[in-house]
Amino acid sequence: MKELLRLLAEDAPGSELARAAGDDSVARDLALRIRAGMDASKKREAELSALVDVARELASARDPGSVLDTIVHRARTLIGTDVSYLTLYDAARGDTYMRATDGSVSAAFQQLRLPLGAGLGGLVAETYKPYWTADYPGDHRFRHTNPIDSAVGEEGLVAILGTPLIVDGAFVGVLFASNRTRRPFSREEVSLLGSLAALAAVTIVQVRAAAETADALEQLSVAHAGVEHAAAAHDRFADIVLSGGDVDAIAAALAELLDVWVVLVDALGNELAVAGEVDSELARKASAVAGESGRLARVGDCWMVAATAKGERLGALVIGGVDELSGADQRIVERAAVVTALVLLFRRQAAEQSQRAQADILADALSGSGDPRALADRVRLLEPTRRLPNQLVVAVCRGDHSAVLARLSAPVGERLVLSGSYAGDLVLLLALDDAVAGARALAEVARRAEVTIAVTGPAAWGQALVDAHQQATRLVTTMLRLGKSGEAAAPDDLGVAGLVGAAAVDVRAHVDHVLGAVVDYDNQRGTDLIGTLRAYFAAGSSPTRAASALHIHPNTVQQRLDRITALLGDGWQQPERALDVQVALRLHTALE
C-alpha cells in the first residue's frame, strides 16, 4: 500500500500502479480510480486555462478576419481534430455560409453554403442545439444534399461536431470541429466546444459593432471631408473606439482638439469623465438642462449636447472655457457626442451581458444547486485577473434597487464579486471580512437609493453561503417590520431583534459588538464599569439607588455613567438601546 501511495504521489502511470498492486485487485482498482480522477482534474484545469487564454486572445483582436481565424484555430487545437470551420448566418438569404476554416484543403468546401435544416450544420442552425456524429456520411439522422455531401466528401470529413453561436438569443453562426476518420465525440468535448462558441459569439458581435462604429464615423467624415480639422477629429475618435478606449479618452481628445474643458455625465447626472480645468458649478447647471436632440446648444457660459442612441439619452457632454465655437468645432462636438453615445451603449450592453452571467452564477450559488468549485471557475472566467476570495459577505437589498449599483462608492465597488436579482431582491456578494463593516459601507447607498440592506457573513462558497443569504433575507424582513427602511444593518446592529431573526447566533461576538468598548476599558484600566451598568439597571435606571447598592457616592456613579456614554455613544439609555444593553449584560454574565 505504501508503494502505491508513493507512485500516486509521483504521478506514476496506470501500468506501474497495476504492477505495484500485484494480486490485490481491490487496491489496484482503487489506485486506478484515483489515478483517473487525478487525470480528469488535470484535464479540466488545462481546458479552463485554455479557455481563459482564448478569452484574452479574442479580447485583444480587432480585425474581424483575424478574430474568426483565431476561433477556428483554437477549436481545432482544443478538440484535437483534423479540421475546424465556422459558418455565419446570412439573414437576407436565410442560410449560413462558410466564413473561416483551419486545416481545410478543398476550395469547394471553403465556399459552401448550408440551408437551414440541411446537413448537420443546417440542423444546428435551425434548432440552435449542438449535434455530433462519428460517421456523417452514414448517419441518416441528417438531411443529406448533393452540394453538402459532395463538398464534405471532397474534404474527406467523416466525424463532425457542430455547436451554435448565440448571443442574447440571437443566432450568429455555427462552430465545427471535424475529423477525416471515424471518432466519437465525448460529452466533455461537446461542452468544451460550446464554451468556446459562447466566447466566440460575443467577440464576433463586439467586433462587428466596432466595425459598424468605424463605418458610421467614416460616413460622418465623408460628409465633412472639406474640413481638415473635422477630419482629424474623426480619425482621433475612430482610433479611440477601435483601440477599445473609453469615454475618458473621448473627453480628453475633445478637450485637446478644441482647447476647452469637458465634462461627461450620464442620464442621471453622475459624472463619468472630466478633462481640462473644469468649472464644476457651471457644468452641473448646464447638464441639468440637457435636451434630447443631439444638437449642440448654448447654456449660459457653457455649451451642451446630449449623447443619444435609439432615441434614448445616455448622457451629455458639457463644454466650457471658450466663448465661441466655429461651425466646424460645433460639428466636432456633436460628432464626439455620437461617438460617446456609441461607447456608452456598448458599455451598457457589455454590463447587461455581464449582469446576466453574474445573475445565473448567483442563482446557482444561492439555491445550493451549483458545485462550489465549478461556480468559482465560472466567476474567474468573467474576470480572469481578479483574485477570488474564499469567504464573502452577503448583502440583500430590498425595495426599488435599480440605482444601487450606480451609487456604490469606489472602495465598495472594488470589493464587489457578484451581483444580481434573486427572489425579487438585489443580492451583492462582497469580498469583505466583516458584516458590520459591510453595513457601514453600504449605509449611504441605502439612504440615497432608498432601499433597505441586510448584511450577513462572511461565509464560504457552498451551503454556508446559502445559509448566510437566508439569514440576510430574514434580517431585511425584520428591519422593515421594525421601520428601519432606507438603512443598512448587520444582525448585531439590531440588538435583540437581530438575535431573534438569526438562524444561529455567535453570542460572544454579539456581546463584544454591544459591550466590547466597556469590557476593553475595564480590562485595560482595572475598573468595573460593567458592574456599574448591572447595578444601574438593577436599580431601575436610578443613579442614586445604584450608588446605594454599590456603597459609593452618587456623583461617582454619574461619572461612571458619563464614561459609559463616551464608550457606547449617546442614546444607550433610551428604551430600545437600553434593552439591547441589558440583554448583552445577561449574556456576558452567562459567558463569565
Average pLDDT, 10 consecutive residues per value, the chain (592 residues)? 55 58 60 55 48 50 68 87 94 91 93 94 94 95 94 95 89 94 91 82 72 58 48 68 72 79 76 74 60 67 75 76 78 76 71 68 78 71 65 90 82 82 88 86 88 89 85 84 84 64 57 76 83 80 80 84 83 74 70 60
CA distances from 284 to 219, 299, 313, 334 (A): 33, 11, 17, 19
Decide: 110 and 154 in contact? Cβ < 8 Å: no
- pLDDT at res. 363: 81
Instruction: Indicate the residue among 58, 73, 101 that finishes a domain.
Output: 58
Helix (H, G, I), strand (E, B) or coil at 514: helix
The residue range of the domain holding 266 is: 224-349
CA distances from 315 to 176, 275, 292, 307, 466 (A): 42, 16, 10, 5, 39
Assigned domain for 551 exists: yes
Residue 526 grid coordinates: 482595572
Length of the chain counted residue by residue: 592
CA distances from 172 to 79, 305, 360, 489 (A): 21, 35, 22, 46
| Same-domain pairing of 479 and 443 | yes
Assigned domain for 185 exists: yes
Assigned domain for 445 exists: yes
Query: Which residue in 294, 297, 317, 349 sits closest to 247, CA to CA?
Result: 317
- pLDDT at res. 46: 47
Distance, C-alpha 110 to centroid of its chain = 39
Assigned domain for 576 exists: yes
Assigned domain for 117 exists: yes
| Same-domain pairing of 432 and 559 | no
Assigned domain for 41 exists: yes
| Same-domain pairing of 436 and 309 | no
- pLDDT at res. 297: 74
CATH number (domain holding residue 149)? 3.30.450.40
Instruction: Indicate the residue among 474, 503, 532 that finishes a domain.
Output: 503
Q: In whole angstroms, give the CA distance from residue 486 to residue 128.
A: 45
Q: Look at the alpha carbons of 520, 521, 524, 529 in this order and tell me if their dihedral is positive or negative.
A: negative
Assigned domain for 355 exists: no
Contact residues for 123 (Cβ-Cβ < 8 A; gap 6+): 117, 131, 142, 143
Assigned domain for 248 exists: yes
- pLDDT at res. 127: 94
| Same-domain pairing of 274 and 310 | yes
| Same-domain pairing of 24 and 86 | no
| Same-domain pairing of 155 and 192 | yes
Q: In whole angstroms, give the CA distance from residue 197 to residue 332.
A: 39
Query: Which residue in 287, 283, 236 sits closest to 258, CA to CA?
Result: 236
- pLDDT at res. 561: 82
- pLDDT at res. 48: 45
| Same-domain pairing of 394 and 302 | no
Q: In whole angstroms, give the CA distance from residue 59 to residue 206.
A: 9
Decide: 256 and 243 in contact? Cβ < 8 Å: no
| Same-domain pairing of 197 and 241 | no
Instruction: Indicate the residue among 503, 527, 549 that finishes a domain.
Output: 503
Number of domains the chain is built from? 5
| Same-domain pairing of 33 and 139 | no
| Same-domain pairing of 473 and 404 | yes
- pLDDT at res. 316: 78
| Same-domain pairing of 237 and 188 | no
| Same-domain pairing of 121 and 255 | no
Decide: 529 and 518 in contact? Cβ < 8 Å: yes
CATH number (domain holding residue 536)? 1.10.10.2840
